[in-house]
Amino acid sequence: MELSALLPILLGIAWLLPLASFTLIVLFGPRMGKHGVGASYLATSAIAIGALCSWFSLFCWFGHYGFKPAEHGAGSQFAAADHAEALTPALSQGEKETATDHESYPRAYTNDLYTLGQFGSLKITISYYIDALTVGMFAMVTLIATCIHFYAIGYMHDELHDVTDHEVTLSDGHHLHRPGRFHRFFQYLSLFCFSMLGLVYAGNIAMVFVFWELVGICSYFLIGFYIERKSASNAANKAFIVNRVGDFGMIIGLMALWGGLGTFAFGDVTDADGKVERGIFSQVRDPANGYALAAPDGMVRSAAFDAVEEIAFEHPGRLMPGAAASEINSRIPSWRADHYGYWLLVIAGVGIFCGCVGKSAQFPLHVWLPDAMEGPTPVSALVHSATMVAAGVYLVGRFLPVFAPEVLLVIAYTGCITLFIAATIAITATDIKRVLAYSTVSQLGYMMLALGVGGWVAGLFHLITHAFFKSLLFMCSGSVIHATHTNEMTKMGGLRKKMPVTAYTMLVGCLAIIGAGIPFLIGFSGYYSKDAIVAQALSFSLANPLHGAVFFYAAVGGAAMTAFYMFRLWYMTFAGPPRDHHIYDHAHESPKIMYRPLIVLAVFAALVGCTVPDWFPALGGLGVQNLLEQARPAGELGEGVLMAGLAYPEEHASHAHSIHVQATVYAFSTALGGFLLATVFYGLRWLNPADVKQQFFPVYNFLLNKWYFDELYDFLFVKPAHFVAFLITFVDRRLIDGFIDNLARWARKLAHFDDLIDRYFVDGLVNLTAAWTYSLGSSLRSLQTGRLRQYVMLIVIGLVALSVLINFASAR
């Protein structure tokens, strides 16, 4: 079977199986075995089969393309321009390798699955885009998810029977007693796996956005799994709403892309008629232009709105649009030379990055992730460390070809600030999961920094290694919490004797995250990935001394802090004498189903960073770095247009011996320093951390309160929003409705007045006439005396008078 047909199917199965599992559990969850225990088997087997499919695809990929990137893949960045003519995309029935020239363009398969809506040339579709990065992400996500599913079966077994929730006190003073929700946990996990894999599978940015939201809602459900706890539902809301703030930016980015390009597809898609629809990448980095970044035609045209209007007016009436269109097209290069549309490209990039800021918990939207630790620990391990929060980094990596250098600088600064802030907070936190959460934020900052300084492989490599060791760390912490029923490290200590497997797998995780190793020889996974980042930062600082210095020292300083807080955590938990004997006495090693996944992940956390040396038979070159290298986007990152002097060195420059050695030395020594400091304070307890606290109390307090971000945002955004809402209700109730009601009241008053007029004026007139007539009648009444003789007299007088009158009249 062709790889182009096989991969979409295999990965599609891996993607859709969890959806099937989710649907079944929704419909039949409570009836699956005793207390819904069958749900866990269903969900686990779904993701396990998905993992098999994913790894099989990975092997197929290796089998087809080898372990290593094509020869001199790096040099091709410069060579690309020379090969421009050779790069015309080649087509094969329906499916298409974006470029046949393996040396210069990543190999990717992309095609539409079905269309959501099409309007002329605008098309929004469900599609896939599969390259080495996709395959690698699938393998990583499914493997970790499978481990965590197994682990969760053990961790969540409490939910198999009725649960008494000690954190919830009812109004009658008792603790909440509720039925278990075992199946529901796995239902959400399955939905999450589906969404996360869909995000990676997606072939266009709109579909990424769809699954972006879906992982968000899964995260919402999982954080709020303990729905009875107010803190949990608050944290869930916070997570989703803060993410939506990021999505707000992302939508703007999407609109800018859509308005300018008219497509969301990453790669070029060939439709059934053999017509090629150019995707984002090839529009922004035209192969014919040597993959150099340039504002695409659509953006140029939309930025040159006024000029286009002029041309359209020159060719008015029924001649349109043919004549004008050709003239407009002929003017595009000159507009582009004037940087028309470049701003739109920057807006698109920053907008998309905003989404990533939200999802990957970067400054200033990092506040949700620590609160998200309200969810069960397997969730923290899967969603909030390894996969979902890394999706932002993944998207930045995926979208790197679209980011202008200015955007990359924004990314780098964001990552830099995040890594520093989060690391400082992690130093003071005492909740074991919060330490890990801030560590996650900090590490994500590292990844962003790496991508922002142009380290494509470095950033994504750290994404993969971090996924393994951080999920391992979380699961170990979960194991500890499972044993001690507390999150507070101040109540732990000495647990390594009680739970050795957990303690030593966690040690592996700690060593991996601080980047321990024997310099220049071998090390844990973090050793490789962190070194790559520091080296890239160094390489960047050589080209841009001003910005680069900040990044480099932040990366190095972050390494020291990482080592310090991680070993602080390990020592406080596992080393020394126990702090709380009650907890210590009840602690126990977790069941097999929980610690076996730990061992699997520990092995990966230790080894995933290594690349098999070239001289090794059959497997020479096997490694994550080389896999990622195969997906490296073509083209140079280039130089800033709006910011002159901003230059991006290509990543392979950081492999140069001078840079590499320097970076390793810096990173290793600072990490060692941090480790030693932690050992002095918490391992050997020679120095008392309380003294330091006393000494630097304001700083300590500032850090303990997480830099007062929550309070600040509450003051800046939440309260004003509620105030505006209140104001608007006031406007509605008092102003608009008041106006309407007053209008009605005035109408009634008017009606009343009208009634008065009727009653007293019109009716009065009529009555007056009647009254007059009456009084006239009664006054005339006295004339009718009933006396005949008077009557006769009157008749006579009348007659006489009449005749006299007539006489007079006729006499005239």
Partner 1 sequence: MESHLILLSLIVFLPAAGALALAFFPKDKPELIKLVSLFITIAVFLITLWMAWPGGDGENGQFQKGAAEMQDAFNVPWIPSFNIYYLMGVDGISFTLVLLTSFLSVLAMGASWPINKHVKAYCILYLLLETGMLGVFMALDFFLFYVFWEVMLLPMYFLIGVWGGPRREYAAIKFFLYTLLGSVFMLIAILMLYFNSDLNVLAKVEGFAPGEAGWNQLHLGPAAAELVQADGAEPLHTFNILALAKMGQHTSLFDDEMLWGKSLQWWAFILLFIGFAIKVPIVPVHTWLPDAHVEAPTPISMILAGVLLKMGGYGIIRICYPICPDAGYDLAYVVTFIGVLSMLYGAFAALAQKDFKRLVAYSSVSHMGYVMLGIGVWSAVAGTNYNPEYWQLGMNGAMFQMIAHGISSAGMFFMVGVIYDRVHHRNLDEFGGLFAKSPVYSGLAFGIFFAGLGLPGLCGFIGEVFVTLSVWNYSHALAVVSASTVILTAAYILWTLQRVYLGAEYKGPHGDHITPITGRELAIAVPLLAFAIWFGVYPRAVLDYMEPSINQEVDDLAIWTRDVKEPRLLLERNRPTRGAEEAVGMVR
Partner 2 sequence: MEPVGISHFMTVGAIMFVCGVVCMATKRNALGVLMGIELVLNGANVNFVALSSDFLTTNPARGLGLDGQFIALFVIVLAAAEAAVALAITLNFYNNHSTVDVDRADELKG
Contacting partner 1 within 23-62 (CB under 8 A): 26
Among 216, 152, 194, 168, residue whose Cα is nearest residue 368: 216
Rounded to a whole number of angstroms, the minimum distance from the CB of residue 56 to partner 1 is 28
| Residue 801 makes contact with partner 2 by CB under 8 A | no
Q: Which is nearer to partner 1, 347 or 389 (CB)?
A: 347
| Residue 796 makes contact with partner 1 by CB under 8 A | no
**Span near partner 1 by CB under 8 A; candidates 119-127, 134-142, 448-456, 532-540:** 119-127
The residues in 254-293 that bind partner 1, with binding defined as CB under 8 A, are 254-256, 258-259, 262
Q: Which is nearer to partner 2, 642 or 794 (CB)?
A: 794
Rounded to a whole number of angstroms, the minimum distance from the CB of residue 750 to partner 2 is 48
Q: How many whole angstroms separate alpha carbon 425 and alpha carbon 701?
A: 10
Q: Which is nearer to partner 2, 657 or 787 (CB)?
A: 787
**Count of C-beta atoms within a 10 Å radius of residue 4:** 18
Rounded to a whole number of angstroms, the minimum distance from the CB of residue 338 to partner 1 is 17
Q: Which is nearer to partner 1, 344 or 489 (CB)?
A: 344
Q: Which is nearer to partner 2, 782 or 810 (CB)?
A: 782
Out of 1, 85, 120, 577, the residue judged to bind partner 1 by CB under 8 A: 120
Site size for partner 2 (CB under 8 A):
13
Long-range contact set of residues 333-341: C-beta below 8 Å, sequence gap at least 24: 335/300, 335/301, 335/303, 335/304, 335/307, 336/294, 336/295, 336/300, 339/295, 339/641, 340/295, 340/299, 340/300, 340/303, 340/304, 341/260, 341/295, 341/296, 341/299, 341/300, 341/301, 341/302, 341/303, 341/304
Q: How many whole angstroms separate alpha carbon 176 and alpha carbon 156?
A: 18
Let me know: does 472 contact 505? Beta carbons within 8 Å.
yes
| Residue 710 makes contact with partner 1 by CB under 8 A | no
Q: How many whole angstroms separate alpha carbon 773 and alpha carbon 775?
A: 6
Let me know: does 131 contact 144? Beta carbons within 8 Å.
no
From residue 530, alpha-carbon distances to 363, 413, 444, 472, 656 in Å are: 20, 17, 12, 18, 16
Let me know: does 651 contact 514? Beta carbons within 8 Å.
no
From residue 699, alpha-carbon distances to 354, 430, 433, 692 in Å are: 30, 16, 22, 10
Q: What torsion, rounded to 10 degrees, do the Cα atoms 79, 658, 464, 706 define?
A: -120
Q: Which is nearer to partner 2, 768 or 800 (CB)?
A: 800
188: its two tokens: 């959400």
Question: Of partner 1, partner 2, none, which one sits near residue 709, judging by CB under 5 to 8 A according to partner kind?
Answer: none
Q: Which helix (H) or strand (E) holds 22?
A: helix 3-28
Q: Which is nearer to partner 2, 736 or 793 (CB)?
A: 793
Question: Of partner 1, partner 2, none, which one sits near residue 500, judging by CB under 5 to 8 A according to partner kind?
Answer: none
| Residue 806 makes contact with partner 2 by CB under 8 A | no
Q: Which is nearer to partner 2, 274 or 786 (CB)?
A: 786
410: its two tokens: 């924004």
The residues in 732-791 that bind partner 2, with binding defined as CB under 8 A, are 780-789
Rounded to a whole number of angstroms, the minimum distance from the CB of residue 448 to partner 1 is 22
| Residue 117 makes contact with partner 1 by CB under 8 A | yes
Q: How many whole angstroms separate alpha carbon 469 and alpha carbon 475?
A: 10
Site size for partner 1 (CB under 8 A):
76
Question: Of partner 2, partner 1, none, which one sits near residue 784, judging by CB under 5 to 8 A according to partner kind?
Answer: partner 2
Contacts of 409 (CB under 8 A, 6+ apart): 452, 547, 640, 643, 646
Question: Of partner 1, partner 2, none, which one sits near residue 789, judging by CB under 5 to 8 A according to partner kind?
Answer: partner 2
Helix segments in 338-431, DSSP class H: 342-359, 368-371, 377-381, 388-398, 405-428
Let me know: does 376 contact 156? Beta carbons within 8 Å.
yes
| Residue 213 makes contact with partner 1 by CB under 8 A | yes
Q: Which is nearer to partner 1, 726 or 761 (CB)?
A: 726
CA angle 697, 702, 708 (to 5 degrees): 160
Question: Of partner 2, partner 1, none, which one sits near residue 34, judging by CB under 5 to 8 A according to partner kind?
Answer: none
Helix pair 132-155, 456-484: axis angle to 10 deg = 0
Rounded to a whole number of angstroms, the minimum distance from the CB of residue 753 to partner 2 is 43
DSSP state of 128: E
Binding mask 223-252 for partner 1 (x = CB under 8 A): -x--xxxx--xx-xx--xx--xx-xx--xx
| Residue 92 makes contact with partner 2 by CB under 8 A | no
Question: Of partner 2, partner 1, none, which one sits near residue 317, judging by CB under 5 to 8 A according to partner kind?
Answer: partner 1
Q: Which is nearer to partner 1, 112 or 131 (CB)?
A: 112
| Residue 807 makes contact with partner 2 by CB under 8 A | no
**431 bridge partner residues:** 488
Instruction: State whether the Cα torsion 116-119-124-128 is positive or negative.
Output: positive
The residues in 714-733 that bind partner 1, with binding defined as CB under 8 A, are 721-722, 724-726, 728-729, 732
- What 3-state DSSP class applies to 365? coil
Question: Of partner 2, partner 1, none, which one sits near residue 100, judging by CB under 5 to 8 A according to partner kind?
Answer: none
Rounded to a whole number of angstroms, the minimum distance from the CB of residue 804 to partner 2 is 15
The residues in 293-332 that bind partner 1, with binding defined as CB under 8 A, are 301-302, 305-306, 308-309, 312-314, 316-321, 324-325, 328
Contacts of 774 (CB under 8 A, 6+ apart): none
Out of 320, 744, 771, 793, the residue judged to bind partner 2 by CB under 8 A: 793
| Residue 805 makes contact with partner 2 by CB under 8 A | no
The residues in 105-144 that bind partner 2, with binding defined as CB under 8 A, are none
Q: If you count them, how many residues does the chain have?
A: 812
Rounded to a whole number of angstroms, the minimum distance from the CB of residue 805 to partner 2 is 19
- What 3-state DSSP class applies to 129? strand
Q: Which is nearer to partner 1, 351 or 683 (CB)?
A: 351
Q: What is the CA radius of gyration of the chain?
A: 39
Q: Which is nearer to partner 1, 312 or 676 (CB)?
A: 312
Let me know: does 431 contact 487? Beta carbons within 8 Å.
yes
Question: What residues make contact with partner 2 under the rule CB under 8 A?
Answer: 780-789, 792-793, 796
